[in-house]
Structures are given as C-alpha cells and as structure tokens.
Structure 1
C-alpha cells in the first residue's frame, strides 16, 4: 500500500493505493468523521484483484484545497477525475455514510465513467426515508452540522472526544475502532479547513436532496448494503431507489456494524468481490 496524490484543478486529492492499473479499478470512500484510514486493513487484500484506491475526500486528511461545492455530485466528479488521472479503468465506486452519498451521486450523474456502484450504510438525501431520518432525535447532528460556524466553534480542538461520541453510539462493536484509528481520524480533521470541509457535507445536503428527488433513469448496476447494527433492512432503501429510477439495484445485509470496513472487513471484501464477479459475468 502506498499513498499517492492526484491534482484535480486546484485540489490535491490523496489516495491509499494497492494493486496496479492493469486490474479493475475500485474507489473506496469513507464517511464522516473518518478518512481513508478506515480502509487500511482491507486495502492490500483488495489490491490482489483490484486497483484499489481509498481516497481522503476533498479537504480531509492529506487531501488539500476547498472544492467548488460540497454537493455530492461535485465531489463524485472530483474523486472520479482523481482516479482517472491514476489510470483507473472499469471502476466500481463504493462508499459508506457520506461516502455512500457520493457513490450514489456518481451512479446517478456520472454513470458513463463507471462499471458499478456500492452504496453502504447511509440514507440518501431526497430519497425516502430521508425525511423520516431527519426527524429521528438520534440523528440530531445532521441539523447541527448544517449550521454556519457553530459546529466549528463547538468542535475545534475537541475532535477526538466529539468523534468518539458518534463512534461509540453508532458502532455495533465500538472496540473495532481502535485508539490508533480514532487518533488518526481526529488528526484528519485537525486543520480548520478540514473540519469545515466535513461540516460542509451537511450544509450541502438540502441541495443534494432537491437534486436526488428528481426522478432519473439509472441503468448502472448498483448494490445497496447495510450492516445489521441498527436493525434496518436494505429493502427499506432499495424500494425508493427503484421508484426514483434505479433499474439495476439490489440490497444485501453485511453482518457487522455501521463502520463496516473495520467492524466486518472480511464480509465487506467478500461482498465487493461478489459484486465484481457478477458484473463481469453479466
């Protein structure tokens, strides 16, 4: 595994890489409040049969520069461009949490650049049960993080303690997120601009919702996967995706928790490989 930097306009986009460009491309995208470190434990294994690229989302960790927008379709274009500059081909994009929102935006708006998409452990802005999720008191942070300036004021210098609250609340097995990993995530948002980049994802979700709520045909093969920590079934999310135009989407449960790459790494690897096999045999 090595770390490489791609220039996309004025942005520097960092990726942990395994495998080489002769193999099918695989983009892996973390969520909030994490970084590409989330995939460190599975990247070398996936690099056996993929050109695996785990990106720090724009502005986070080793990725530098402020993207023109935090809308997920814009971020999808940026990470796809970064992968293409590294000569990735036949790309499957996979992400969870905010990374899952970006993976869906890639499938919806940039499908010609992809072979498939895997969306994991996220509710998609504008796609039911979006409004129900926003009304859930446990998801209070969506509203808090969308406010201007206040989240930075509350969290700056307290990243580790603040992030730990969410890791411990959401994880099926909080011990799967080691102290080393948690320190790494706090460092990834240590810079003021990195902290703001993470909150900007939430500030853009109202526009993401308006965009995604418009029905659009999506023929790209797509997998919607959920861990089983919260008991929610993938069918609850797959049905609305089909109603909004996804023609080749299916759902699976990956036994494990919210932070699937760390809580259930072997099952995630198996799910990615199974999805790829079915793409190539279709």
Structure 2
C-alpha cells in the first residue's frame, strides 16, 4: 500500500524547517540539493516508507523553509537537521540519504554526530575539503553563484529560464526532470529570497572546506557509505564522487550509474529504491 506523505514545520532557533514524513520503523532522513527541494525524493519516499520512517527536509533557505540572512555553511545547516531529527523528532540514531548540496550537509552532520548517523547514501557529489584540489569539484556556476549580489540581480524575474537551463543540461537526457517537477522547483525558487539563499550555499564554500578539513583531522567516518556518481559524460561526477567519499570515510562502496546524469534520484528512481533497500537492509533494524 502506498504510504501517504504528511507535511510539517519545526521552529528551530533562527530557522523554520518544512519537512515531509511517512511510514514507521528505523528513521531515514533525506537531504536535497540545488536547485531542488524535498520534492526530488517524491518517487523514493513511498517505497522506503513501507519499511522505514522517512523524513525529507527542505534545507535552510530553500523550498518552503524560512530564509535567515546567514548560516548557509554546511556545518550550520547540518545542525538544523540535527535539531530536527534529535530534538524535535526524538531520533537517537538514523540513516541519511543525500544528493548534491545535501551530501556535504550529510558529511558535516555525520562528522559532528558520529554515533547518531548509522549510514550515509549519497548521489553525485564529493566532499569539499576532502584533500583533493577544489577545482575538481567546481564548475562554472560555482564562481558565478559565489559573487556577492550579482547573480540575484541578473536572474531576478528570470528564475524560470535560469533554473530550466540546469534541469535541461544536468541529466543524461534533456527531459530527465519531469515538467511537473520543474514547475514545483521554479515555484519554490521564485519565492522572495530563495535564489539568494541558494547562492549563499556556494558563497559559504570556503568555510565548508575549512570546517571539513577540521572534521577530517578528527578521523575518517566509521559508518558505512554508499555513493554513486552519474555516468553521463560531462554531466555526472562519475567515479570522482565515490573517490572523494573514500578520502573521508573508511567503508565506502558504490560506483557509477551509467544511464544517469546529475539528477540520479529523478532519472532512475526505481534503481535508487532497490539500492537503498538493499543497503539499508544490511544495517539491521535496531
């Protein structure tokens, strides 16, 4: 039976997070990337909710969460997730599934709460500050988004055009993300302050690198990690994603999804469900 999704809000200090839940059992929290929202997991959540309690979060500033002026470094964003999971929902231990910017948030979360995070499943993103040259991670829009105020001015009123460019170019095929999903993402990012909040994640990258290097100095992560990069040439991260996570965690497996680009969870949802069911099942239900 399909599990119904329910929507909630949690006031957590300076931020109000919107999140979606379903199911019961061991808890799995889902973290989205840019320019997406919790909605990117829509085809994954019902299947996993048959065996797990699933929680999909709109990260600080994005989706239908509030947009504080600051706090877009992944260390701070990860603490939003921790307060939601631990303080609001009462979860002592949980799994994390992440994509794009959700991946660095997942790393910062796990590095600060090593006993609480049972496993990490991550798609098409490396970890900033993993010891590799940052140029291996960055693409043209990293520099553009990092410029103060400029991208907000240039995309104002043109959010639809700008975001659809990424949706069209980021997959193994131009229609990798459905029209309904594109409309939902454009709705979310056309709200006042949403594009600025998204750009602020990129502006915080130097701080993320410094924080992650400090986390790594405390030792690699011990929880198991599943990591896949998109295999579409020039689009997905390929093996670079898994190689990055191998630099920051002891036990990493995965590889490349040949018939997907950057949007793996939306391009190959049935495949992602199978991988998650198998990987999470190995971790037990305690």
- The TM-score with structure 1 as length reference comes to 0.89
Residues 152-178 of structure 1: CA distance to partner in whole angstroms, max 9, x if unpaired? 101122111101111111111332312
Deviation at 1:70, TM superposition (A): 0.9
Corresponding residue of 1:133: 137
Distance 2:226 2:12 in 1: 28
Corresponding residue of 1:110: 113
1:194 aligns with 2:198: no
Which residue, out of 225, 229, 234, partners 2:232? 229
Which residue, out of 259, 279, 286, partners 1:275? 279
Aligned ranges for residues 17-36 of structure 1 at < 5 Å?
17-20=21-24, 23-36=25-38
Deviation at 1:29, TM superposition (A): 1.2
Distance 1:199 1:254 in 2: 28
Distance 2:237 2:67 in 1: 36
Corresponding residue of 2:104: 101
Q: Which moved more, 1:29-38 or 1:222-231?
A: 222-231
1:266 aligns with 2:270: yes
* Root-mean-square deviation (Å): 2.1
Distance 1:111 1:68 in 2: 26
Corresponding residue of 2:252: 249
Aligned ranges for residues 1-282 of structure 1 at < 5 Å?
1-20=5-24, 23-66=25-68, 68-84=70-86, 85-127=88-130, 128=132, 130-134=134-138, 139-214=139-214, 215-217=217-219, 218-230=221-233, 232-234=237-239, 236-244=240-248, 246-255=249-258, 256-280=260-284
Distance 1:89 1:227 in 2: 32
Deviation at 1:89, TM superposition (A): 4.9
User: Which segments of 5 or more consecutive residues in structure 2 lack a partner in the other structure?
Assistant: none
What SS is found at the alignment partner of 2:71? coil
Q: Which moved more, 1:195-204 or 1:64-73?
A: 64-73
Q: Which moved more, 1:206-215 or 1:94-103?
A: 206-215
- CA spacing shift, 1:53–1:144, aligned 2, 3 Å: same
What SS is found at the alignment partner of 1:161? helix
Deviation at 1:63, TM superposition (A): 0.7
Distance 1:243 1:270 in 2: 26
Distance 1:92 1:129 in 2: 29
- CA spacing shift, 1:239–1:275, aligned 2, 3 Å: same
Distance 1:192 1:224 in 2: 34
User: Which segments of 5 or more consecutive residues in structure 1 lack a partner in the other structure?
Assistant: none
